[in-house]
Amino acid sequence: MHREGLARFASEKYKLKAFNNPFIHLTNYAINKDNENFVADEKGESGHKRSLGAVFRKLEQDGLDVPSLK
């Protein structure tokens, strides 16, 4: 796995029966930017579009063994 990268997250929590809600199933910025729950962060440290490093830091804060993922 490359150490630098980009992670995108959907702007709505996944629900099994919500087939017609694109905010749940897609991580595309062009779609999610229109959702009231979308959080933008130019630095890529939080929000729905983050650097891979920020994701790893968050996972470590949550107690996960990140080195075992790499």
Residue ranges of domains in the chain: 6-68
Residue 2 has pLDDT above 70, yes or no: no
HEC per residue, 17-66: CCCCCHHHHCCCHHHHCCCCCCCCCCCCCCCCEEEHHHHHHHHHHCCCCH
What is the Cα–Cα distance from 33 to 51, expressed in whole angstroms?
Answer: 17
Q: What is the mean pLDDT of residues 27-53?
A: 85
Q: pLDDT (tens digit, 9 = 90+) per residue, 10-30?
A: 888 887 777 787 878 778 888
**CA 61, chain centre distance (Å):** 16
Has this prediction a pTM greater than 0.75? no
